[in-house]
Amino acid sequence: MQIKLWINEKEFTDDVSPDIALLEWLRSKGFYSIKRGCETSNCGLCTVLLDGKPVLSCSTLAIRANGKHVTTLEGVEKDALEIGGFMADEGSEQCGFCSPGFIMNVIAMKNELTNPTEEEIKKYLVGNLCRCTGYVGQLRAIKNYLQSKKEV
Amino acid sequence: MFTIDQYVIAESLEEAYELNQSRRNVILGGIMWLKMGKKRIGKAIDLSALDLHKIEEDEDRFYIGAMCTLRDLEVHSGLKKYFNGIIEKSVESIVGVQFRNGATVGGTVFSRFGFSDVLTVLLALDTYVELYKGGIVSLSQFMDMPRDNDILVKIIIKKDNRKVAYVNQRKSVSDLPILACAVSNTGNTWNIVLGSRPAKAQLISLELSENLHEEQINEIINVVKDKIVLGSNDRGSKEYRSILADVFIRRNIEEILLGGNHAD
C-alpha cells in the first residue's frame, strides 16, 4: 500500500507491505538509531515519536504511520547530544544500546510533563529497559538535564 | 509476527462487521498481543477512520471509543477526577508510556485477556460495552459471552458515585500482575473483582451493609475465594494467589471504609 509520511519533517512516500513494522521500514530508509531489541513490546529500544507521542516502532505497523509525522533520534540530534552529555557525566551509559530509545522517551517526557517529580520521571521512563546501569545514574542525568533547561 | 495479505481501512462499522465474519480476517487493535503470534491474516481491518478514538462524557456516563489507547484513559482529566485516579492506577503499570500509546481499550476489553488490570477495575465499576450488532450489554455479562465476530464500539461507564479501591502485585513494576483486585461499594452492595488469577477477571457481587464489621469482611473473603477459582502459572502459585487475595480484598475494603476513591 502507498503511504506518505514525514520523517524528521522530510516527506517520504513508499509502497509498503501491510505487515511491515515501522521499525523495519525506518531502518530500511537508513534511520539506524532505531534499535531492534526485545520485539515483544517491552524494552523501549525502538522508541520513536509519532505525531509527538512516544510509540514502540516494533509494534506499530508502518502503514499506520501514513499521513503522520515521525521523529527519530536523527531528527533531534542537538537534544540527543545534550542529553547524552549529561548521561556521560553521570556514567550512566555503558554499552549504549538502549540510549537512542531512552533519549527519545526523555524528549517526549520533557515535552509532555512540566517540572516532573522524581516519581513522575521514573513512571514515564519505566518502559525503557537498561541491562547495564541500574538506572540510578540515568535518573541523576535526567534530573541534571531538566534542571539545566530550567536555568536557561 | 503475523502476516497480512490485505489491509483495509474500514469506512463504516457495517463494512468492518461484514469483513470480520471471515475467520481469516482480523480487526486490529494496538497489535501488541497479536504481533506475538504468527497468524496468517487475510484482511486486516483497521477501525481508525471510524471516529472511535474519543473519550466523551455527559452528566451520567463516560463513553470511551474502542480505539482509545490505554494512555488516553490514563491522562483523561474527567476520568481522573471522577474515580480519583483509579483508572489511571489500573493502567500505569502496564509496560511503559510507549506501549500504552499503542495498546487500545477495545483490544484489551474485547480480548478479555486473563492478565488485564483494566478489566479488573472496569468490572468493579458500572461498566457496559456497546457491540455493533449485540447492542449494549454489561461488562460482567460480556465477560461470560463466547468470543464471536461482533465489533466492540465503545465502553460506557456510569457515574454512580460508587467508592472503589484497587491493588495489584507484580514481580517487577512493569510486568504482568500476579494478582489484581478491585473492590467497589455502592449502598449495601459490595463488588469484588479478582483479575490475573491467572484467567479473565471475575466479579462477585454481595448484598451486605454499607459499613462492614470484621466478621462480614471475613465472610466476603471466604465467599469470593469459594466462588472464584485461582490458579498457578510461572508468576505465582495458586497458594500464593490465595494469600494475596485475602490481603488485597481486605485492604481494598478497609480503604473504602476509610473513605476510598470515590467520585469527586
pLDDT of residue B240: 97
Contact A127 B101 (CB under 8 A): no
From chain A residues 83-142, the ones with a CB under 8 A of any chain B CB are 105, 108-109, 123-128
Decide if pLDDT at B262 tops 80: no
Does B84 lie in the same domain as B64?
yes
Does B148 lie in the same domain as B81?
yes
CB A63 within 8 A of CB A3: yes
Q: Does A65 touch chain B (CB under 8 A)?
A: no
- Closest Cα partner for B261 from B182, B173, B146? B182
Say if pTM beats, i.e. exceeds, 0.90. yes
Provide the mean pLDDT of chain B: 94
Please give the share of chain A, as a percent, with pLDDT higher than 70.
Answer: 99
The SS3 call for residue B180 is strand
pLDDT of residue B260: 56
Domain assignment present for residue B66? The answer is yes
Place of cell 466478621: B215
pLDDT digits (tens, 9 = 90+) for A90-106: 998 889 999 999 999 99
pLDDT digits (tens, 9 = 90+) for A67-82: 999 999 999 999 999 9
Contacts of A110 in chain B (CB under 8 A): none
pLDDT of residue B261: 53
Residue A133's pLDDT band (cuts 50, 70, 90): confident
Contact A59 B174 (CB under 8 A): no
Does B108 lie in the same domain as B145?
yes
pLDDT digits (tens, 9 = 90+) for A18-62: 999 999 999 999 999 999 999 899 999 999 999 999 999 999 999
Give the C-alpha separation, A26 to B88, whole Å.
Answer: 32
Does B217 lie in the same domain as B170?
yes
- Closest Cα partner for A141 from A84, A96, A79? A84
Residue A152's pLDDT band (cuts 50, 70, 90): low
Q: How far is A82 from chain B (nearest CA, A)?
A: 22
Does B61 lie in the same domain as B41?
no
Phi, psi dihedral angles at B67 (to 5 degrees) = -90, 5
CB B151 within 8 A of CB B163: no
CATH classification of the domain holding B201: 3.30.390.50
Give the C-alpha separation, A140 to A39, whole Å.
Answer: 28
Domain assignment present for residue B199? The answer is yes
Domain assignment present for residue B224? The answer is yes
Domain that holds residue B40: 3-46
Give the C-alpha separation, B145 to B132, whole Å.
Answer: 15
Phi, psi dihedral angles at B220 (to 5 degrees) = -60, -50
Does B140 lie in the same domain as B99?
yes
For strand A47-50 and strand A69-71, is the pairing parallel, antiparallel, or unpaired? antiparallel
Domain assignment present for residue B263? The answer is no
Give the pLDDT mean for B169-174: 91
Does B120 lie in the same domain as B40?
no
Give the C-alpha separation, B158 to A15, whole Å.
Answer: 45
Does B246 lie in the same domain as B193?
yes
Contact B96 A44 (CB under 8 A): yes
Place of cell 473473603: B221
Give the C-alpha separation, B192 to B124, whole Å.
Answer: 7
End residue of a domain, out of B158, B187, B202: B158
pLDDT digits (tens, 9 = 90+) for B38-72: 999 999 999 999 999 999 999 999 999 999 999 99
Decide if pLDDT at B136 tops 90: yes
Question: ∠ at Cα B47 (A126, A101), nearest 5°?
Answer: 25
Q: How many helices (H) and strands (E) does chain B have?
A: 10, 12
Domain assignment present for residue B237? The answer is yes
Task: Report the C-alpha dihedral over residues B198, B201, B204, B205, rounded to 10 degrees.
Answer: 160
Contact A108 B97 (CB under 8 A): yes
Contacts of A16 in chain B (CB under 8 A): none
- Among chain B, residues having any CB pair with chain A shorter than 8 Å are 1-7, 28, 30-32, 35-36, 41, 44, 46, 48, 71, 92, 95-99, 101-102, 173-174
- For B202-216, the DSSP string reads EEEEEE--SS--HHH
CB B191 within 8 A of CB B114: no
Give the C-alpha separation, B180 to B168, whole Å.
Answer: 4
Domain assignment present for residue B182? The answer is yes
Domain assignment present for residue B264? The answer is no
The amino acid that residue B145 corresponds to is: M
CB B114 within 8 A of CB B228: no
Q: Which of A41, A47, A58, A122 to mutate to test the interface with B (most CBs of B within 10 A)?
A: A41
Count of domains observed in chain B: 3
Residue of A nearest to B175 (CA): A42
- Closest Cα partner for B184 from B128, B252, B118, B251? B252
The amino acid that residue A131 corresponds to is: R
Give the C-alpha separation, A47 to B98, whole Å.
Answer: 7
End residue of a domain, out of B28, B46, B64: B46
pLDDT of residue B174: 87
Decide if pLDDT at B259 tops 90: no
pLDDT digits (tens, 9 = 90+) for B96-124: 999 999 999 999 999 999 999 999 999 99
Question: How many other β-carbons are positioned within 10 Å of the β-carbon of residue B146?
Answer: 4
- Closest Cα partner for B188 from B221, B167, B163, B165? B163
Q: Which of B97, B99, B100 to mutate to test the interface with A (most CBs of A within 10 A)?
A: B97
Contact A55 B102 (CB under 8 A): yes
The SS3 call for residue B149 is coil
Q: How far is A13 from chain B (nearest CA, A)?
A: 17
pLDDT digits (tens, 9 = 90+) for B204-256: 999 998 889 999 999 999 999 999 999 999 999 999 999 999 999 999 999 99
- Closest Cα partner for A14 from B8, B11, A26? A26
Number of residues that this document lists for chain B: 264
How much is the ipTM here? Answer: 0.96
Contact A18 B97 (CB under 8 A): no
Contact B32 A41 (CB under 8 A): yes
Place of cell 506499530: A60
Q: Across-strand partners of B92?
A: none
Hey, what domains does chain A have and what are their CATH numbers? Answer: 2-74 (3.10.20.30), 76-151 (1.10.150.120)
CATH classification of the domain holding B117: 3.30.465.10
Give the C-alpha separation, A23 to A101, whole Å.
Answer: 12
Does B96 lie in the same domain as B66?
yes
Does B61 lie in the same domain as B28?
no
Contacts of B96 in chain A (CB under 8 A): 44, 105, 125-128
In chain A, which ranges are continuous DSSP H helix? 22-28, 77-89, 99-112, 118-125, 136-151
Does B119 lie in the same domain as B146?
yes
End residue of a domain, out of B136, B158, B180: B158
Give the C-alpha separation, B41 to B4, whole Å.
Answer: 5
Contact A18 B6 (CB under 8 A): yes
Domain assignment present for residue B262? The answer is no
Give, for B239, the enclosing helix (H) or strand (E).
Answer: helix B238-257
The SS3 call for residue B1 is coil
